[in-house]
Protein backbone atom coordinates (compact mmCIF):
# COMPACT_ATOMS: atom_id res chain seq x y z
CA UNK A 1 0.00 0.00 0.00
CA UNK A 2 1.29 3.40 -0.99
CA UNK A 3 0.87 6.78 0.68
CA UNK A 4 -0.24 9.57 -1.62
CA UNK A 5 0.30 13.26 -0.94
CA UNK A 6 -2.36 15.62 -2.29
CA UNK A 7 -1.95 19.32 -2.94
CA UNK A 8 -4.63 21.46 -1.35
CA UNK A 9 -5.47 25.05 -0.44
CA UNK A 10 -6.76 26.54 2.83
CA UNK A 11 -10.42 27.25 3.55
CA UNK A 12 -11.22 30.36 5.56
CA UNK A 13 -14.18 28.94 7.51
CA UNK A 14 -12.70 26.08 9.54
CA UNK A 15 -12.54 27.66 12.98
CA UNK A 16 -14.16 25.19 15.42
CA UNK A 17 -17.12 26.47 17.41
CA UNK A 18 -18.35 25.49 20.85
CA UNK A 19 -18.47 21.81 19.84
CA UNK A 20 -16.12 21.42 16.91
CA UNK A 21 -16.52 22.24 13.24
CA UNK A 22 -20.11 22.09 11.95
CA UNK A 23 -21.22 22.75 8.40
CA UNK A 24 -23.72 21.46 5.89
CA UNK A 25 -22.99 17.98 4.53
CA UNK A 26 -22.33 19.37 1.07
CA UNK A 27 -19.59 21.60 2.47
CA UNK A 28 -17.82 18.61 4.01
CA UNK A 29 -18.26 16.69 0.76
CA UNK A 30 -16.51 19.39 -1.24
CA UNK A 31 -13.02 18.55 -2.43
CA UNK A 32 -10.42 18.53 0.36
CA UNK A 33 -12.66 20.16 2.97
CA UNK A 34 -12.80 17.27 5.44
CA UNK A 35 -9.27 16.18 4.54
CA UNK A 36 -7.83 19.62 5.33
CA UNK A 37 -9.34 19.68 8.80
CA UNK A 38 -8.32 16.10 9.62
CA UNK A 39 -4.77 16.67 8.39
CA UNK A 40 -4.63 19.79 10.57
CA UNK A 41 -5.52 17.63 13.58
CA UNK A 42 -2.73 15.17 12.76
CA UNK A 43 -0.24 17.98 12.06
CA UNK A 44 -0.86 19.74 15.38
CA UNK A 45 -1.49 16.78 17.70
CA UNK A 46 1.93 15.23 17.28
CA UNK A 47 1.38 12.53 19.93
CA UNK A 48 -0.96 10.80 17.50
CA UNK A 49 1.98 9.72 15.33
CA UNK A 50 2.83 6.28 16.67
CA UNK A 51 -0.10 6.61 19.06
CA UNK A 52 -3.74 5.59 19.22
CA UNK A 53 -7.11 7.16 18.42
CA UNK A 54 -10.80 6.45 19.03
CA UNK A 55 -13.04 7.12 16.01
CA UNK A 56 -16.80 7.05 15.59
CA UNK A 57 -19.91 9.08 15.05
CA UNK A 58 -23.65 9.32 15.50
CA UNK A 59 -24.51 7.60 12.23
CA UNK A 60 -25.80 10.67 10.44
CA UNK A 61 -25.50 11.08 6.68
CA UNK A 62 -21.84 11.02 5.51
CA UNK A 63 -20.66 9.30 8.70
CA UNK A 64 -19.47 6.11 6.99
CA UNK A 65 -17.72 7.89 4.13
CA UNK A 66 -15.95 10.26 6.50
CA UNK A 67 -14.69 7.39 8.65
CA UNK A 68 -13.13 5.68 5.62
CA UNK A 69 -11.34 8.91 4.71
CA UNK A 70 -10.08 9.45 8.26
CA UNK A 71 -8.84 5.86 8.55
CA UNK A 72 -6.85 6.19 5.33
CA UNK A 73 -5.39 9.46 6.57
CA UNK A 74 -4.61 8.01 10.01
CA UNK A 75 -2.64 5.20 8.39
CA UNK A 76 -0.77 7.67 6.20
CA UNK A 77 0.10 9.81 9.22
CA UNK A 78 1.64 6.98 11.19
CA UNK A 79 -0.97 6.14 13.81
CA UNK A 80 -0.33 2.76 15.38
CA UNK A 81 -3.90 1.98 16.43
CA UNK A 82 -7.41 3.22 15.72
CA UNK A 83 -10.42 1.95 17.71
CA UNK A 84 -13.65 2.26 15.70
CA UNK A 85 -17.22 1.55 16.73
CA UNK A 86 -18.95 -1.22 14.77
CA UNK A 87 -20.82 0.29 11.85
CA UNK A 88 -18.90 3.51 12.45
CA UNK A 89 -21.16 4.18 15.43
CA UNK A 90 -20.12 5.60 18.79
CA UNK A 91 -22.00 7.98 21.03
CA UNK A 92 -20.06 11.00 22.20
CA UNK A 93 -20.07 9.74 25.84
CA UNK A 94 -18.86 6.33 24.64
CA UNK A 95 -15.93 7.94 22.81
CA UNK A 96 -14.91 9.69 26.02
CA UNK A 97 -15.27 6.43 27.92
CA UNK A 98 -13.06 4.56 25.44
CA UNK A 99 -10.37 7.26 25.33
CA UNK A 100 -10.07 7.08 29.10
CA UNK A 101 -10.33 3.30 29.44
CA UNK A 102 -7.77 2.49 26.74
CA UNK A 103 -5.63 5.58 27.38
CA UNK A 104 -5.55 6.66 23.76
CA UNK A 105 -4.00 9.88 22.51
CA UNK A 106 -7.40 11.30 21.70
CA UNK A 107 -10.52 10.72 19.69
CA UNK A 108 -12.35 12.08 16.65
CA UNK A 109 -16.13 12.34 16.92
CA UNK A 110 -18.28 12.77 13.82
CA UNK A 111 -21.47 14.52 14.81
CA UNK A 112 -23.41 17.74 14.69
CA UNK A 113 -25.06 16.73 17.97
CA UNK A 114 -28.71 17.82 18.08
CA UNK A 115 -28.70 19.37 14.58
CA UNK A 116 -30.76 17.68 11.81
CA UNK A 117 -29.15 15.08 9.56
CA UNK A 118 -29.45 14.15 5.89
CA UNK A 119 -27.83 15.04 2.57
CA UNK A 120 -29.01 18.66 2.82
CA UNK A 121 -28.52 19.00 6.57
CA UNK A 122 -25.63 19.15 9.03
CA UNK A 123 -22.40 17.31 9.71
CA UNK A 124 -19.64 17.92 12.21
CA UNK A 125 -16.25 16.83 13.46
CA UNK A 126 -14.41 17.48 16.70
CA UNK A 127 -11.23 16.31 18.39
CA UNK A 128 -11.22 15.10 21.99
CA UNK A 129 -7.99 15.14 23.98
CA UNK A 130 -6.43 12.28 26.00
CA UNK A 131 -8.50 13.12 29.09
CA UNK A 132 -11.59 12.23 27.01
CA UNK A 133 -12.92 15.76 26.86
CA UNK A 134 -13.50 18.29 24.08
CA UNK A 135 -10.36 20.05 22.97
CA UNK A 136 -9.67 23.28 24.89
CA UNK A 137 -9.30 26.57 23.06
CA UNK A 138 -5.51 26.26 22.87
CA UNK A 139 -5.91 23.05 20.85
CA UNK A 140 -8.79 24.20 18.65
CA UNK A 141 -6.94 27.45 17.88
CA UNK A 142 -3.82 25.49 16.89
CA UNK A 143 -5.91 23.30 14.59
CA UNK A 144 -7.62 26.36 13.10
CA UNK A 145 -4.29 28.12 12.58
CA UNK A 146 -3.02 25.09 10.70
CA UNK A 147 -6.11 25.04 8.46
CA UNK A 148 -5.23 28.58 7.38
CA UNK A 149 -1.83 27.56 6.03
CA UNK A 150 -2.20 23.91 4.99
CA UNK A 151 -1.08 23.02 1.47
CA UNK A 152 -1.10 19.22 1.44
CA UNK A 153 -2.60 16.14 3.08
CA UNK A 154 -1.69 12.46 3.09
CA UNK A 155 -3.79 9.34 2.49
CA UNK A 156 -3.04 5.64 2.23
CA UNK A 157 -4.17 4.06 -1.01
CA UNK A 158 -6.38 1.34 0.45
CA UNK A 159 -9.63 -0.49 -0.12
CA UNK A 160 -12.73 0.35 1.87
CA UNK A 161 -12.72 -1.29 5.30
CA UNK A 162 -15.61 -3.49 6.46
CA UNK A 163 -17.00 -1.58 9.44
CA UNK A 164 -19.89 -3.93 10.14
CA UNK A 165 -18.04 -6.83 11.75
CA UNK A 166 -15.95 -6.67 14.90
CA UNK A 167 -12.32 -7.68 14.65
CA UNK A 168 -8.87 -6.35 13.82
CA UNK A 169 -7.77 -5.20 10.39
CA UNK A 170 -4.34 -3.99 9.23
CA UNK A 171 -4.38 -0.80 7.22
CA UNK A 172 -0.78 -0.37 6.17
CA UNK A 173 1.10 -0.35 9.47
CA UNK A 174 -1.98 0.79 11.40
CA UNK A 175 -4.06 -1.63 13.44
CA UNK A 176 -7.77 -0.89 13.10
CA UNK A 177 -9.95 -2.47 15.79
CA UNK A 178 -13.69 -2.64 15.11
CA UNK A 179 -15.38 -3.03 18.51
CA UNK A 180 -18.84 -3.39 19.99
CA UNK A 181 -19.81 0.27 20.51
CA UNK A 182 -21.95 -0.40 23.58
CA UNK A 183 -20.11 -2.94 25.78
CA UNK A 184 -17.49 -0.74 27.48
CA UNK A 185 -19.96 2.05 28.15
CA UNK A 186 -22.55 -0.35 29.61
CA UNK A 187 -19.89 -1.81 31.90
CA UNK A 188 -19.07 1.68 33.22
CA UNK A 189 -22.74 2.43 33.89
CA UNK A 190 -22.96 -0.78 35.92
CA UNK A 191 -20.15 0.49 38.14
CA UNK A 192 -21.90 3.81 38.83
CA UNK A 193 -25.50 2.73 39.38
CA UNK A 194 -27.19 0.01 41.39
CA UNK A 195 -28.58 -2.06 38.54
CA UNK A 196 -30.22 -4.50 40.95
CA UNK A 197 -32.25 -1.71 42.56
CA UNK A 198 -33.38 -0.54 39.13
CA UNK A 199 -34.28 -4.11 38.09
CA UNK A 200 -36.50 -4.34 41.16
CA UNK A 201 -38.20 -1.09 40.16
CA UNK A 202 -39.11 -2.58 36.80
CA UNK A 203 -39.92 -6.06 38.08
CA UNK A 204 -42.48 -4.77 40.59
CA UNK A 205 -44.81 -4.30 37.62
CA UNK A 206 -46.13 -0.92 38.74
CA UNK A 207 -43.52 1.28 37.03
CA UNK A 208 -43.61 2.12 33.31
CA UNK A 209 -41.23 4.21 31.28
CA UNK A 210 -40.39 5.11 27.70
CA UNK A 211 -37.11 6.31 26.24
CA UNK A 212 -37.07 8.15 22.90
CA UNK A 213 -33.78 7.64 21.08
CA UNK A 214 -35.06 9.89 18.24
CA UNK A 215 -33.59 7.49 15.62
CA UNK A 216 -30.16 8.62 16.80
CA UNK A 217 -27.10 7.00 18.33
CA UNK A 218 -28.46 6.26 21.81
CA UNK A 219 -30.91 3.63 20.55
CA UNK A 220 -28.55 0.62 20.74
CA UNK A 221 -27.17 1.78 24.10
CA UNK A 222 -30.61 2.33 25.66
CA UNK A 223 -32.06 -0.91 24.33
CA UNK A 224 -29.17 -3.00 25.64
CA UNK A 225 -29.01 -1.35 29.07
CA UNK A 226 -32.69 -0.65 29.75
CA UNK A 227 -34.33 -3.67 28.15
CA UNK A 228 -31.63 -6.38 28.04
CA UNK A 229 -29.79 -5.68 31.30
CA UNK A 230 -32.33 -3.91 33.54
CA UNK A 231 -35.40 -5.80 32.41
CA UNK A 232 -37.60 -2.96 31.18
CA UNK A 233 -40.40 -4.28 29.00
CA UNK A 234 -39.81 -4.72 25.28
CA UNK A 235 -40.73 -1.51 23.50
CA UNK A 236 -39.51 0.73 26.32
CA UNK A 237 -37.07 2.25 23.82
CA UNK A 238 -38.88 3.92 20.95
CA UNK A 239 -37.35 5.22 17.71
CA UNK A 240 -34.36 3.09 18.63
CA UNK A 241 -32.84 2.43 15.21
CA UNK A 242 -30.17 5.00 14.23
CA UNK A 243 -30.91 6.49 10.83
CA UNK A 244 -28.85 8.75 8.60
CA UNK A 245 -31.56 11.42 8.64
CA UNK A 246 -32.86 10.64 12.15
CA UNK A 247 -36.09 9.46 10.59
CA UNK A 248 -36.74 12.94 9.22
CA UNK A 249 -36.87 14.37 12.74
CA UNK A 250 -34.84 16.95 14.60
CA UNK A 251 -32.84 15.01 17.23
CA UNK A 252 -33.00 17.68 19.91
CA UNK A 253 -34.57 16.41 23.17
CA UNK A 254 -36.78 19.31 24.14
CA UNK A 255 -40.51 19.87 24.50
CA UNK A 256 -40.85 20.96 20.87
CA UNK A 257 -38.79 18.41 18.94
CA UNK A 258 -39.38 15.43 21.25
CA UNK A 259 -43.15 15.94 21.33
CA UNK A 260 -43.84 12.21 20.81
CA UNK A 261 -42.35 11.28 24.17
CA UNK A 262 -44.04 14.23 25.86
CA UNK A 263 -47.48 12.96 24.83
CA UNK A 264 -46.72 9.58 26.42
CA UNK A 265 -46.51 11.25 29.85
CA UNK A 266 -50.01 12.73 29.66
CA UNK A 267 -53.51 11.29 29.86
CA UNK A 268 -55.01 8.33 31.73
CA UNK A 269 -52.49 5.82 30.32
CA UNK A 270 -49.45 7.99 30.92
CA UNK A 271 -46.11 6.38 31.76
CA UNK A 272 -44.47 7.15 35.09
CA UNK A 273 -41.15 8.23 33.65
CA UNK A 274 -39.91 9.23 30.22
CA UNK A 275 -36.69 10.50 28.73
CA UNK A 276 -35.08 11.35 25.43
CA UNK A 277 -31.58 11.85 24.11
CA UNK A 278 -30.14 13.65 21.10
CA UNK A 279 -28.19 12.93 17.92
CA UNK A 280 -24.89 11.95 19.53
CA UNK A 281 -26.21 10.86 22.91
CA UNK A 282 -24.84 13.58 25.15
CA UNK A 283 -28.08 15.40 25.98
CA UNK A 284 -31.14 14.37 27.93
CA UNK A 285 -34.71 15.38 28.66
CA UNK A 286 -36.35 14.07 31.83
CA UNK A 287 -40.13 13.78 32.25
CA UNK A 288 -42.47 12.46 34.90
CA UNK A 289 -46.19 11.86 34.62
CA UNK A 290 -47.59 15.24 33.49
CA UNK A 291 -44.32 16.85 34.56
CA UNK A 292 -41.27 18.30 32.77
CA UNK A 293 -38.00 18.53 34.69
CA UNK A 294 -35.92 21.48 33.56
CA UNK A 295 -32.24 20.65 33.02
CA UNK A 296 -31.36 23.20 35.70
CA UNK A 297 -33.63 21.52 38.24
CA UNK A 298 -32.31 18.10 37.20
CA UNK A 299 -28.74 19.14 37.99
CA UNK A 300 -29.79 20.64 41.32
CA UNK A 301 -31.61 17.45 42.33
CA UNK A 302 -28.57 15.36 41.35
CA UNK A 303 -26.36 17.47 43.61
CA UNK A 304 -28.86 17.19 46.46
CA UNK A 305 -29.31 13.41 46.17
CA UNK A 306 -25.93 12.17 44.94
CA UNK A 307 -25.20 10.29 48.19
CA UNK A 308 -28.16 8.01 47.43
CA UNK A 309 -26.49 6.76 44.25
CA UNK A 310 -23.89 3.96 44.40
CA UNK A 311 -21.15 5.67 42.43
CA UNK A 312 -21.43 8.90 44.46
CA UNK A 313 -22.28 7.53 47.90
CA UNK A 314 -19.06 8.90 49.41
CA UNK A 315 -20.15 12.44 48.54
CA UNK A 316 -19.14 14.85 45.81
CA UNK A 317 -16.25 17.29 45.63
CA UNK A 318 -18.17 20.18 44.08
CA UNK A 319 -20.38 21.19 41.18
CA UNK A 320 -20.14 23.42 38.13
CA UNK A 321 -22.74 24.89 35.83
CA UNK A 322 -22.58 26.97 32.68
CA UNK A 323 -23.29 30.65 33.19
CA UNK A 324 -26.75 30.67 31.54
CA UNK A 325 -27.89 27.67 33.61
CA UNK A 326 -30.15 28.58 36.51
CA UNK A 327 -28.73 29.16 39.98
CA UNK A 328 -30.71 26.24 41.46
CA UNK A 329 -27.54 24.16 41.85
CA UNK A 330 -25.81 27.07 43.59
CA UNK A 331 -28.42 27.01 46.34
CA UNK A 332 -27.96 23.29 46.95
CA UNK A 333 -24.18 23.62 46.92
CA UNK A 334 -24.32 26.44 49.47
CA UNK A 335 -26.54 24.38 51.77
CA UNK A 336 -24.20 21.39 51.52
CA UNK A 337 -21.01 23.40 51.94
CA UNK A 338 -19.84 22.70 48.37
CA UNK A 339 -18.22 25.03 45.87
CA UNK A 340 -20.29 25.78 42.77
CA UNK A 341 -18.32 27.06 39.77
CA UNK A 342 -19.89 29.21 37.06
CA UNK A 343 -18.23 28.64 33.66
CA UNK A 344 -18.84 29.74 30.07
CA UNK A 345 -21.09 27.60 27.88
CA UNK A 346 -19.25 24.59 26.48
CA UNK A 347 -18.40 21.28 28.14
CA UNK A 348 -14.69 21.86 27.60
CA UNK A 349 -14.74 24.41 30.44
CA UNK A 350 -15.57 21.68 32.94
CA UNK A 351 -12.55 19.57 31.96
CA UNK A 352 -9.89 21.22 34.10
CA UNK A 353 -12.19 21.29 37.13
CA UNK A 354 -12.93 17.58 36.73
CA UNK A 355 -9.29 16.64 36.15
CA UNK A 356 -8.22 18.61 39.23
CA UNK A 357 -10.86 16.92 41.40
CA UNK A 358 -12.59 20.23 42.13
CA UNK A 359 -15.99 18.99 40.98
CA UNK A 360 -17.86 15.71 40.62
CA UNK A 361 -21.11 16.83 38.90
CA UNK A 362 -21.66 19.43 36.21
CA UNK A 363 -24.40 20.55 33.86
CA UNK A 364 -25.77 22.99 31.32
CA UNK A 365 -29.26 24.34 30.75
CA UNK A 366 -29.10 23.03 27.18
CA UNK A 367 -30.18 19.56 28.34
CA UNK A 368 -26.72 18.38 29.31
CA UNK A 369 -25.46 16.89 32.57
CA UNK A 370 -22.61 14.64 33.59
CA UNK A 371 -20.02 13.70 36.16
CA UNK A 372 -16.37 12.78 36.58
CA UNK A 373 -16.91 9.32 35.07
CA UNK A 374 -16.04 10.74 31.62
CA UNK A 375 -15.28 14.19 30.20
CA UNK A 376 -18.43 14.72 28.13
CA UNK A 377 -22.01 15.32 29.07
CA UNK A 378 -23.89 12.06 29.03
CA UNK A 379 -27.58 11.68 28.19
CA UNK A 380 -28.10 8.05 29.14
CA UNK A 381 -26.07 8.50 32.33
CA UNK A 382 -28.57 11.18 33.43
CA UNK A 383 -31.49 8.85 32.68
CA UNK A 384 -29.91 6.06 34.73
CA UNK A 385 -29.23 8.50 37.58
CA UNK A 386 -32.92 9.37 37.67
CA UNK A 387 -33.95 5.72 37.43
CA UNK A 388 -31.67 4.86 40.34
CA UNK A 389 -33.09 7.79 42.33
CA UNK A 390 -36.65 6.67 41.59
CA UNK A 391 -35.73 3.14 42.66
CA UNK A 392 -34.47 4.50 45.99
CA UNK A 393 -37.18 7.07 46.65
CA UNK A 394 -40.14 5.11 45.23
CA UNK A 395 -41.91 8.42 44.65
CA UNK A 396 -43.16 10.09 41.47
CA UNK A 397 -40.86 12.47 39.63
CA UNK A 398 -43.16 15.42 40.36
CA UNK A 399 -43.11 14.71 44.11
CA UNK A 400 -39.30 14.57 44.15
CA UNK A 401 -39.04 17.93 42.39
CA UNK A 402 -41.68 19.63 44.53
CA UNK A 403 -40.02 18.43 47.70
CA UNK A 404 -36.76 19.86 46.36
CA UNK A 405 -38.44 23.24 45.74
CA UNK A 406 -39.87 23.31 49.26
CA UNK A 407 -36.40 22.78 50.69
CA UNK A 408 -34.31 25.00 48.41
CA UNK A 409 -36.79 27.26 46.63
CA UNK A 410 -37.83 27.19 43.00
CA UNK A 411 -35.80 28.77 40.21
CA UNK A 412 -38.33 29.38 37.44
CA UNK A 413 -36.49 29.15 34.16
CA UNK A 414 -37.09 29.43 30.43
CA UNK A 415 -35.09 30.00 27.24
CA UNK A 416 -36.09 31.83 24.06
CA UNK A 417 -34.20 30.87 20.88
CA UNK A 418 -34.25 33.16 17.86
CA UNK A 419 -32.80 30.91 15.14
CA UNK A 420 -31.60 31.63 11.61
CA UNK A 421 -31.11 35.34 12.21
CA UNK A 422 -29.07 37.56 9.96
CA UNK A 423 -25.59 37.24 11.42
CA UNK A 424 -24.89 40.94 11.53
CA UNK A 425 -28.28 41.74 13.04
CA UNK A 426 -27.74 39.19 15.81
CA UNK A 427 -24.26 40.53 16.52
CA UNK A 428 -25.77 44.02 16.58
CA UNK A 429 -28.07 43.01 19.45
CA UNK A 430 -25.09 41.95 21.55
CA UNK A 431 -23.09 45.09 20.65
CA UNK A 432 -26.03 47.27 21.61
CA UNK A 433 -26.36 45.53 24.98
CA UNK A 434 -22.63 45.87 25.60
CA UNK A 435 -22.96 49.61 25.08
CA UNK A 436 -25.83 49.80 27.57
CA UNK A 437 -24.04 47.98 30.41
CA UNK A 438 -22.52 51.04 32.17
CA UNK A 439 -25.88 52.79 32.64
CA UNK A 440 -27.73 49.60 33.59
CA UNK A 441 -25.72 49.08 36.78
CA UNK A 442 -28.02 49.96 39.70
CA UNK A 443 -30.84 51.12 37.42
CA UNK A 444 -34.53 50.69 38.19
CA UNK A 445 -36.32 48.86 35.36
CA UNK A 446 -40.00 48.80 36.23
CA UNK A 447 -40.32 46.75 39.40
CA UNK A 448 -36.77 45.38 39.03
CA UNK A 449 -33.55 46.90 40.32
CA UNK A 450 -30.35 45.91 38.56
CA UNK A 451 -27.75 44.44 40.92
CA UNK A 452 -25.14 43.72 38.25
CA UNK A 453 -24.81 44.03 34.48
CA UNK A 454 -21.76 42.67 32.71
CA UNK A 455 -20.29 40.82 29.75
CA UNK A 456 -19.36 37.54 31.42
CA UNK A 457 -15.72 36.54 31.47
CA UNK A 458 -14.10 33.52 33.08
CA UNK A 459 -10.65 32.86 34.46
CA UNK A 460 -9.97 29.15 34.77
CA UNK A 461 -8.97 28.46 38.39
CA UNK A 462 -6.65 25.65 37.31
CA UNK A 463 -4.61 27.05 34.41
CA UNK A 464 -5.54 30.76 34.67
CA UNK A 465 -6.66 30.88 31.02
CA UNK A 466 -9.18 33.63 30.37
CA UNK A 467 -12.35 33.56 28.26
CA UNK A 468 -14.08 36.86 27.53
CA UNK A 469 -17.34 38.02 25.92
CA UNK A 470 -19.24 34.90 27.01
CA UNK A 471 -22.68 36.49 27.27
CA UNK A 472 -24.49 39.50 28.68
CA UNK A 473 -25.68 39.02 32.28
CA UNK A 474 -28.25 41.29 33.90
CA UNK A 475 -29.03 40.30 37.48
CA UNK A 476 -31.67 41.83 39.72
CA UNK A 477 -31.66 42.33 43.48
CA UNK A 478 -34.51 39.86 44.17
CA UNK A 479 -32.72 37.00 42.37
CA UNK A 480 -34.05 37.23 38.82
CA UNK A 481 -31.71 37.20 35.82
CA UNK A 482 -31.73 37.83 32.09
CA UNK A 483 -28.88 36.47 29.96
CA UNK A 484 -28.24 37.12 26.27
CA UNK A 485 -25.73 35.21 24.15
CA UNK A 486 -25.12 34.01 20.62
CA UNK A 487 -25.02 30.24 20.14
CA UNK A 488 -22.00 28.55 18.58
CA UNK A 489 -23.68 25.30 17.49
CA UNK A 490 -25.57 26.28 14.33
CA UNK A 491 -24.44 25.94 10.72
CA UNK A 492 -26.42 28.71 9.03
CA UNK A 493 -27.32 32.20 10.14
CA UNK A 494 -27.08 33.08 13.81
CA UNK A 495 -29.01 32.00 16.90
CA UNK A 496 -29.70 34.49 19.68
CA UNK A 497 -30.53 32.85 22.99
CA UNK A 498 -32.32 34.69 25.78
CA UNK A 499 -32.33 33.01 29.19
CA UNK A 500 -34.78 34.10 31.88
CA UNK A 501 -34.75 33.14 35.55
CA UNK A 502 -36.89 34.07 38.55
CA UNK A 503 -36.54 32.77 42.11
CA UNK A 504 -39.48 31.88 44.35
CA UNK A 505 -38.83 30.85 47.97
CA UNK A 506 -42.48 30.71 49.10
CA UNK A 507 -43.86 27.15 48.68
CA UNK A 508 -47.38 28.60 48.32
CA UNK A 509 -46.27 30.44 45.17
CA UNK A 510 -44.25 27.64 43.55
CA UNK A 511 -47.09 26.16 41.50
CA UNK A 512 -47.66 29.23 39.36
CA UNK A 513 -47.28 28.66 35.63
CA UNK A 514 -43.83 29.44 34.23
CA UNK A 515 -45.26 31.65 31.48
CA UNK A 516 -47.12 33.74 34.05
CA UNK A 517 -44.07 34.20 36.26
CA UNK A 518 -41.79 34.98 33.33
CA UNK A 519 -44.07 37.40 31.46
CA UNK A 520 -42.60 40.60 33.00
CA UNK A 521 -39.04 39.40 32.35
CA UNK A 522 -39.87 38.40 28.77
CA UNK A 523 -41.22 41.87 28.08
CA UNK A 524 -38.25 43.52 29.75
CA UNK A 525 -35.75 41.41 27.81
CA UNK A 526 -37.32 42.38 24.50
CA UNK A 527 -37.19 46.06 25.42
CA UNK A 528 -33.62 45.96 26.72
CA UNK A 529 -32.23 44.26 23.62
CA UNK A 530 -34.61 45.80 21.04
CA UNK A 531 -34.90 42.31 19.58
CA UNK A 532 -37.81 42.89 17.22
CA UNK A 533 -36.49 46.22 15.95
CA UNK A 534 -32.99 44.88 15.37
CA UNK A 535 -33.78 41.39 14.01
CA UNK A 536 -37.31 41.69 12.63
CA UNK A 537 -38.42 38.78 14.82
CA UNK A 538 -41.49 39.33 16.97
CA UNK A 539 -41.44 35.80 18.37
CA UNK A 540 -38.74 33.22 19.14
CA UNK A 541 -38.31 30.08 17.03
CA UNK A 542 -38.32 27.80 20.07
CA UNK A 543 -39.26 28.25 23.73
CA UNK A 544 -37.94 25.71 26.24
Mind listing the pLDDT tens digit for each residue in 271-312? Answer: 999 999 999 999 999 999 999 999 999 999 999 999 999 999
Same domain, 375 and 422: no
Distance CA 120, CA 123 (A): 10
Q: Is 113 a catalytic residue?
A: yes
- Work out the percent of the chain whose per-residue pLDDT is above 70: 99
Angle at 422 between CA 21 and CA 278, to 5 degrees: 45
Residue 133 is classified by DSSP as S
**Binning pLDDT at 50, 70 and 90, where does residue 491 land?**
low
Residue 208: pLDDT over 70 = yes
HEC readout, 323-390: CCCCCHHHHHHHHHCCEEEEECCCCHHHHHHHHCCCCCEEEECCCEEEECCCCCCCHHHHHHHHHHHH
Structural domain ending residue among the three candidates 380, 408, 436: 408
Same domain, 108 and 130: yes
Helix 397-408, helix 379-393: angle, nearest 10: 90
- Per the structure, how many domains does the chain have? 3
Same domain, 314 and 232: yes
Mean pLDDT within 12-34:
95
Same domain, 141 and 228: no
- Structural contact between residues 93 and 219, judged by C-beta atoms closer than 8 angstroms: no
Residue range of the domain that includes 478: 410-543
Residues 6+ apart with CB under 8 A from 540: 416, 417, 418, 498
Same domain, 295 and 196: yes
Same domain, 142 and 191: no
Set 40, 52, 96, 113: catalytic member? 113
Same domain, 319 and 454: no
pLDDT value, residue 493: 81
Same domain, 416 and 532: yes
Distance CA 207, CA 231 (A): 12
CATH number at residue 95: 3.40.120.10
- Work out the percent of the chain whose per-residue pLDDT is above 90: 95
CATH number at residue 470: 3.30.310.50
Residue 490: pLDDT over 60 = no
Residue 32: pLDDT over 60 = yes
Residue with more model confidence, 542 or 530: 530
Residue with more model confidence, 508 or 491: 508
pLDDT value, residue 487: 86
**Binning pLDDT at 50, 70 and 90, where does residue 205 land?**
confident
pLDDT tens digits, one per residue of 372-395? 999 999 999 999 999 999 999 999
The DSSP bridge partners found for residue 320 are 341, 362
Same domain, 41 and 136: yes
Same domain, 474 and 501: yes
Same domain, 223 and 365: yes
Structural domain ending residue among the three candidates 408, 425, 458: 408
Residue 207: pLDDT over 70 = yes
pLDDT value, residue 488: 63
Structural domain ending residue among the three candidates 118, 147, 181: 181
pLDDT value, residue 280: 97
pLDDT value, residue 19: 83
pLDDT value, residue 492: 63
Same domain, 229 and 158: no
**Binning pLDDT at 50, 70 and 90, where does residue 544 land?**
confident
Distance CA 306, CA 110 (A): 32
pLDDT tens digits, one per residue of 76-100? 999 999 999 999 999 999 999 999 9
Residues 6+ apart with CB under 8 A from 305: 389
Amino acid sequence: MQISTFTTHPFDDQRPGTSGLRKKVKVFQSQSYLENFVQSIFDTQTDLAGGSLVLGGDGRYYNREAIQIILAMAAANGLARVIVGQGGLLSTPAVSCLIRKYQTNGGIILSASHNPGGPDEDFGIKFNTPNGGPAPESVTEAIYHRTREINQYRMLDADTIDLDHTGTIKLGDTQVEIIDPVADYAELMGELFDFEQIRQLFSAGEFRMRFDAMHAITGPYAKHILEDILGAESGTVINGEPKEDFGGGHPDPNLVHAHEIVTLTTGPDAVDFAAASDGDGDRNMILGRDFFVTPSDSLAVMVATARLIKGYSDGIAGVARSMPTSQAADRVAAALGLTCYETPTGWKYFGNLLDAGRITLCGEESFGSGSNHIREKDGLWAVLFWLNLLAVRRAPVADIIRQHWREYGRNYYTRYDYEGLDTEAAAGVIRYLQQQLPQLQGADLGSYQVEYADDFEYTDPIDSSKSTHQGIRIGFTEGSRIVFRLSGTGTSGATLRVYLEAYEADPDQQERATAEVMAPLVELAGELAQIEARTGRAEPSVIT
